């Protein structure tokens, strides 16, 4: 295939847009559903904008809820792109080289969702410009939230600009100059670990919350991220393999399975370590864990939630580890999905809400998200999926053409 008839960035952008508004019926229906999802989110958010966060289920005691839970979990998914980048660029694995761009697309989508969740959670989103150093006041390096703003935006730039550079060159049929982007790829590997450690430090650094104030949060976040993220990527790759023409070799799934299993086992070991610390000798500091796992004073709304999550986690890990069916996708894909959901449950609501219950003065409440929170969450997830779809569709078309042109 020859190069496209027009050159330059505007043509690239135009093509990307064209590719993302055309397609078969299934694709258009999928896009319509996403737009509807975003519309529902915007409608729900308008209530929040008008009446404030009182329309959510949050209060002075449970001051962070569904939004921050999803944010926490999705930072992990974004960081997990490193599990594709590492083999592709460090170990020069050719199989992973083929799918690394998909991982980066998922990372960008997850990051967009993270930033969106933060924005919808703010009480004064119009004052967000107060964060910009120079025109606002940026409490760096004291505030871990400030660190998080820096690392998340930096990671977004790294994972956005490097693939953009590569795809742009491939779009024009050129080979991208590896010497130009390789340092940034290395940077993004270290950066991926740091975004998730910094997000963990947000909670880990608070002496007021003994449920979070333990040294295992950072490493636990990494382990659960590297289990849930590649699980999602496995599902994404399976969908791409079936729906588009982009063939993905079985070996990639096998290697991903290995990464997921190792991380999931480490995650379970860390979970056991936490449970031991909390319950072997129950101190006042264990009260949040007691609320989560066993309920307190009749408040036990999270007990079924966490036990379902742990059971799902263990079952999925066992299935993925012992691999019954020998890499049969009908077994592995549901197991990956189960693991993803289980970790979402445990790392999202199962981490944020119990950390805030009981209040620092010992008052116990229950948290239940309202329809506004659920709809806004739906909207943000739709937005994330839209971003991921846009990026991956453009990337796959370009890569496909590039591969064919270089044959």
Partner 1 sequence: MIKPKKDDEAAELEISPSAHNSRRNFLKGLSIAAAACSASLVTGCLPDVKAESGEKFALQWKEYFKKHYRLMTQQEKEETVARLERLAKLQSGLDLQISTRAPRENVLYGYAFNITRCEGFMECVAACVKENNLDRKTKTQYIRVFEMKPGQLDPSTGDGKYFHEVPVDNKFYMATQCFHCENAPCTKACPTKATWREPDGIVVVDYDWCIGCRYCQAACPYFGRRFNWGKPSIPKEEVNRKQHYLGNRIRPMGKMEKCTFCIQRTREGKLPACVEACPTGSRVFGNLLDPDSEIRFVLKNKKVFRMKEDLGTDPKFWYFID
Partner 2 sequence: MNISAWFPRWLHVSPLSVAGLLIVCFFTCVGNSIAVEESVLTRIGQATNPYDTTAVESVQPLLQETVVAKEKDQRGAFRVLARKKFIERYPCSSCHNGKPVLARNGEALTHGTVIIRHGMEGNGLTCIDCHHQDERNYLENKKGEKIDFDHSYLLCGQCHFRQKRDWLGGAHGKRVTYWAGERVVYNCTTCHNPHAPRFEKRFPATYSPPAE
CB 70 within 8 A of CB 117: yes
207 binds partner 1 (CB under 8 A): yes
Q: Which does 182 bind (CB under 5 to 8 A by kind): partner 1, partner 2, none?
A: partner 2
Contact stretch for partner 1 (CB under 8 A) within 90-98, 109-117, 342-350, 393-401: 393-401
CB 368 within 8 A of CB 56: no
> Which two three-digit tokens encode residue 399?
């890569």
Among 8, 136, 325, 334, binds partner 1 (CB under 8 A): 136
| Residue 114: CB minimum distance to partner 2, A | 27
**Between 146 and 165, how does the x/- string for binding to partner 1 read (CB under 8 A)?**
x--x----------------
395 binds partner 1 (CB under 8 A): no
CB 320 within 8 A of CB 257: yes
How many residues appear in the chain? 407
Q: Which does 134 bind (CB under 5 to 8 A by kind): partner 2, partner 1, none?
A: none
Q: Which does 285 bind (CB under 5 to 8 A by kind): partner 1, partner 2, none?
A: none
CB 213 within 8 A of CB 204: yes
Contact stretch for partner 1 (CB under 8 A) within 140-148, 217-225, 250-258, 261-269: 140-148
131 binds partner 1 (CB under 8 A): yes
Print the SS3 string covering 143-182.
CHHHHHHHHHHHHHHHHHHHHHHHHHHHHCCCCCCHHHHH
The β-bridge partners of 136 are 133
Strands (E), 266-371: none
Q: Which does 186 bind (CB under 5 to 8 A by kind): partner 1, partner 2, none?
A: partner 2
Binding interface with partner 2 (CB under 8 A): 57, 59-61, 90, 182-183, 186, 359, 363, 365
115 binds partner 1 (CB under 8 A): no
291 binds partner 1 (CB under 8 A): no
What are the DSSP calls for 91-135, one per residue?
Answer: S--HHHHHHHHHHHHHHHHHHHHHHHHHHHH-S-GGGGGGGSBTT
> 280: which residues sit within 8 A by CB, 6+ positions away?
none
Nearer to partner 1, 58 or 227 (CB): 58
Nearer to partner 2, 273 or 359 (CB): 359
Q: Which does 144 bind (CB under 5 to 8 A by kind): partner 2, partner 1, none?
A: partner 1
């Amino acid at each position: 295939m020859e190069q496209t008839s027009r050159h330059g960035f505007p043509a690239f952008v135009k093509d990307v847009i064209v590719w993302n508004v055309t397609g078969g019926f299934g694709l258009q229906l999928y896009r319509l559903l996403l737009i509807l999802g975003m519309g529902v989110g915007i409608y729900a958010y308008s209530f929040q904008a008008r009446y404030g966060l009182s329309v959510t289920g949050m209060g002075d005691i449970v001051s962070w809820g569904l939004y921050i839970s999803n944010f926490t979990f999705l930072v992990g998914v974004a960081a997990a792109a490193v599990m594709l980048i590492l083999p592709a660029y460090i170990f020069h694995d050719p199989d992973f080289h083929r799918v690394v761009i998909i991982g980066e697309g998922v990372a960008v989508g997850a990051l967009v969702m993270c930033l969106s969740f933060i924005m919808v959670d703010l009480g004064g989103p119009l004052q967000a410009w107060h964060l910009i150093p120079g025109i606002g006041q940026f409490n760096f390096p004291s505030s871990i939230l400030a660190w998080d703003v820096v690392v998340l935006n930096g990671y977004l730039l790294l994972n956005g600009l490097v693939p953009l550079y590569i795809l742009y060159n491939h779009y024009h049929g050129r080979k991208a100059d590896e010497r130009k982007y390789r340092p940034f790829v290395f940077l993004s590997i270290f950066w991926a670990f740091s975004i998730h450690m910094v997000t963990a430090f947000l909670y880990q650094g608070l002496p007021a919350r003994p449920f979070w104030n333990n040294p295992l949060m950072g490493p636990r976040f990494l382990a659960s991220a590297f289990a849930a993220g590649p699980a999602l990527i496995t599902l994404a790759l399976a969908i791409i393999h079936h729906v588009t023409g982009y063939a993905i070799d079985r070996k990639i799934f096998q290697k991903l399975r290995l990464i997921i299993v190792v991380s999931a086992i480490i995650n379970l070991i860390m979970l056991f370590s936490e449970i031991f610390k909390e319950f072997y000798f129950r101190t006042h500091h264990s009260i949040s864990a007691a609320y989560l796992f066993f309920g307190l004073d009749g408040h036990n709304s999270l007990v079924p939630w966490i036990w379902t999550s742990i059971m799902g986690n263990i079952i999925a890990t066992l299935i993925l580890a012992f691999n019954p069916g020998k890499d049969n996708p009908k077994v592995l894909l549901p197991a990956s999905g189960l693991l993803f959901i289980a970790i979402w449950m445990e790392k999202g609501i199962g981490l944020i809400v119990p950390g805030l219950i009981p209040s620092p003065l010992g008052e116990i409440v229950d948290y239940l998200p309202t329809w506004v929170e659920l709809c806004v969450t739906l909207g943000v997830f739709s937005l994330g999926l839209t971003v991921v779809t846009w990026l991956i569709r453009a990337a796959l078309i370009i890569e496909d053409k590039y591969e064919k042109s270089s044959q």
